[in-house]
Structure 1
């Protein structure tokens, strides 16, 4: 994405870089937008997991205390 930008990036570019065939890609994602959405979700979840105690759950009170929202 850094090289071409999201708009110009193709599924072939993604699969070539990941060294996988297009079939497995489409078995998991319908398009590059779904891959981007999953990547953002995973990154956000990782950041939340780092910032909140493991027992916090998705309690709104804990989420409001998260440094990401300060």
Structure 2
């Protein structure tokens, strides 16, 4: 099992303590994603280029 360090939350985290968000941890070839509210529940990982394309699509959707 791979462990990821350097977890960070979105600057758009809602709520008083910012636990209402997802966290990401970059790795050279993959991006790990987990729920801030339940970190022990599990981690999803995506190839870095796929995650980058997802973020671009989200950004484009927010401009509409």
Could you say whether these structures have the same fold, taking a TM-score greater than 0.5 normalized by the shorter chain as the test? no
Greater radius of gyration (CA) = 1
Structure with the bigger percentage of helix? 1
TM-score normalized by the length of structure 2 = 0.36
Structure with the bigger percentage of strand? 2
